[in-house]
Amino acid sequence: MSADVELQKVSVSFGNFYAAKNVSVKIEKGEFFSFLGPSGCGKTTLLRAISGFAEPSDGKILIGGQDMAGIGPNKRPTSLIFQNLALFPLMSVADNIAFSLEVRGTGKVQRRNRADELLELVALSGQGNKKVHELSGGQKQRVAIARALAIEPAVLLLDEPLSALDLKLRQKMRTELREIQKRVGITFIYITHDQGEALTMSDRIAVMNEGELEQVGSGHNVYEAPHTPFVASFVGENNAFYGTVISTNGDMVRVSSQGKDFLAKAGDLKDGKKHTFQKRDKVIMFVRPESIFLKDQINQADNIFSAIFKTIEFEGNLKNIYLSIDGVQDVRCSISNAVETATLSTSESIELKFSSRDAVVLPVGPLAVD
């Protein structure tokens, strides 16, 4: 049985410090939902409030329409997977998985059967008698998932469970988690600071900063139409051009930055409308590195400017080119490794292009610090 989770103006405070402020969001039944934010943004606190380990100081948490106030973690239809997994090292794998059934007084044989069933679900058949320490990192991960699923929770809560794994395994586990979620069909609420994880797995993402929700939307939405400078700079890489508005024409905004004119589209607001700007408004124009091209790469683009080449960084599939306008504005441009760049030399002025459709203008606000 899956259930929806609704947060109504939830705040969690520790003394005078608000770890979560006035968070309202409805997570649909069967959804893979991620809270994405830098460390200390309150996402873990929010997850603990949903699981029952922290009490909201304000607001309500509803699971399947039922108010969870005063209901302990052991009575909620949620299961939590801890960041360090918290498997019980002195029990066998099967005993770990069936612990929630043991607690409920289920018989030994039934417990074992259920454990075997779950081991099969997470592709670990026949490993039930092993000790936890005999498993590899990825296998432990799967045991933790199986243990959390044993009582058939309506909602599975995951607190950065992949952060301890190495890159390759992490990527593999992303796909696997997503598949397991589809198979069991329950709501997954996932906490992460890794935007790659959030983007690849989630149906929807809530980007958090300093205890507040900045934006809730699909991965595409969050990546391509950020509502705030924080979201624009935290999710993926971005070039931020500080400037002032020269003129507006419908959704299109002409921005002056570093003595150059650029054309860009106005960013979205929470309610789906566009930001409106007045002449001389201070703004930031965001352009993704992969949306900036070398002059010869594309023909059509309504923004052309030149910048001084500084250095190039090889990343495998991509090359990052670092440039600078007048030594003040840094520009980063990511191009496919296939593009020839051997002719570029330091301090050379290079012409760059980007389309106004790929540039978003937002009012000035705090960026994500990295």
Partner 1 sequence: MNYFFNKNGPLISTYLIISIGFWLIFLIIIPQLYMFDLSFRPNIPTLLRGGPDDVYTLVHYKHFLFGSETSGERYNYVDVRVFLDTILTAILITLINLCFCYPIAFYIAKVASAKTARLLIVSLIIPFWINELLRSFALRILFAGEGFINNVLIKMGVIDTGINFIAMDVALYTGLNYAYILLMIFPLYNAIETLDKNQLEAAEDLGSSMIRTHLRIVIPHAKAGIASGCTMVFMLTAGALATPVVLSSPNTFWFTQLIYQWFNMNDNWPRGAAYSVVLLTVSVVFVLLMMKIFKVKIGEIVR
Contact residues for partner 1, defined by CB under 8 A: 51-53, 72-75, 78-80, 82-84, 86-88, 90-91, 99-100, 102-104, 147, 150-151
Minimum CB separation from partner 1 for residue 162, in Å? Answer: 16
Minimum CB separation from partner 1 for residue 157, in Å? Answer: 9
Minimum CB separation from partner 1 for residue 193, in Å? Answer: 18
Angstrom CA distances, 295 to 292, 315, 340, 345, 349, stand at 9, 21, 12, 16, 12
Shorter beta-carbon distance to partner 1: residue 6 or 159: 159
Shorter beta-carbon distance to partner 1: residue 164 or 350: 164
CA atoms within 13 A on the CB side of 167: 1
Q: Tell which residue, 348, 258, 254, has the closest CA to residue 294.
A: 348
Minimum CB separation from partner 1 for residue 84, in Å? Answer: 6
- Check: CB of residue 126 under 8 Å from CB of residue 119: yes
Shorter beta-carbon distance to partner 1: residue 140 or 227: 140
Torsion, CA 221, CA 224, CA 225, CA 231, rounded to 10: 90
Shorter beta-carbon distance to partner 1: residue 186 or 292: 186
Shorter beta-carbon distance to partner 1: residue 184 or 246: 184
Minimum CB separation from partner 1 for residue 132, in Å? Answer: 11
Shorter beta-carbon distance to partner 1: residue 78 or 228: 78
Name residue, tokens 């994880």.
Answer: 197
CA pseudo-torsion sign 101, 103, 105, 109: positive
Q: Please name the amino acid found at residue 281.
A: D
Minimum CB separation from partner 1 for residue 107, in Å? Answer: 16
Q: Tell which residue, 180, 158, 161, 154, has the closest CA to residue 46.
A: 158
**DSSP structure class, residue 92:** B
